[in-house]
Structure 1
């Protein structure tokens, strides 16, 4: 009997994938801070995660699309750019912390599997 690492990692494998995608989106926002007309995007992590979990369980997802959403700026600029660097940096930092947390959980799960395999 083989080990299914996707099942062993639980929801953290999906969380890592979503966090990596969110990192890419937030980095793009930060890189385009001075691009006229650039529209900042983000994903709704909770609804995307719920969608992935529903699909993994063979259920129909309750929400529709899980594509990136456009961010509404607190202080719109004249050139149409909606990137607010403070907001983006805070979101990026929080996402990095959450990514590290999920990575720690996956690491602990894999260590537990390694101990079980070695009979410890």
Structure 2
């Protein structure tokens, strides 16, 4: 039974990590037109457990992308400098959409693994009841 609970722990940690990643990707997409917004990225870290426990994954600190935002020429904008430019966000929607698709697929794979582990445990319980 310990193997089933270990598998559940690993998949649950993967689900939580990808959900966190999706949340930050959604924030990036929502703020793509916000002047000065910096893209957020999430780092995954392996969590080493004690002997007999599985290694799981967690999210590390949220990092801000240091690349410069797009310089936008709009002289009437309140944030424009004396030359008429202001700094937009550094979010590239194409990259964010690709990353969110990857995170969604990884989330779905973890969910499928969770469901398969649950079905295997249910099958074992059914065999033991006989």
TM-score normalized by the length of structure 2: 0.71
Q: How does 1:1-120 map to 2 (within 5 A)?
A: 6-45=5-44, 48=45, 50=46, 52=47, 54=48, 56-57=49-50, 66-73=60-67, 76-78=69-71, 79-119=87-127
Work out whether residues 6 and 13 of structure 1, in 8 Å CA contact, stay in contact via their aligned partners in 2: no
For the pair shown, the structure with the greater C-alpha radius of gyration is 2
Unpaired segments ≥5 residues, structure 2: 52-58, 72-86
May I ask how many residue pairs the two structures share in their alignment?
106
CA RMSD for the aligned pairs?
2.5
Q: Relative contact order: is structure 1 or structure 2 higher (C-alpha 8 Å, sep ≥ 6)?
A: 1
The structure with the greater share of residues assigned to helix is 1
Unpaired segments ≥5 residues, structure 1: 59-64
CA distance in 1, matches of 2:20, 2:4: 21
The structure with the greater share of residues assigned to strand is 2
- Structure 1 runs of 4+ aligned residues shifted over 2 Å read 2-8
Change in 2 beyond 3 A, CA 1:71/1:98? same
CA distance in 2, matches of 1:68, 1:5: 31
TM-score normalized by the length of structure 1: 0.76
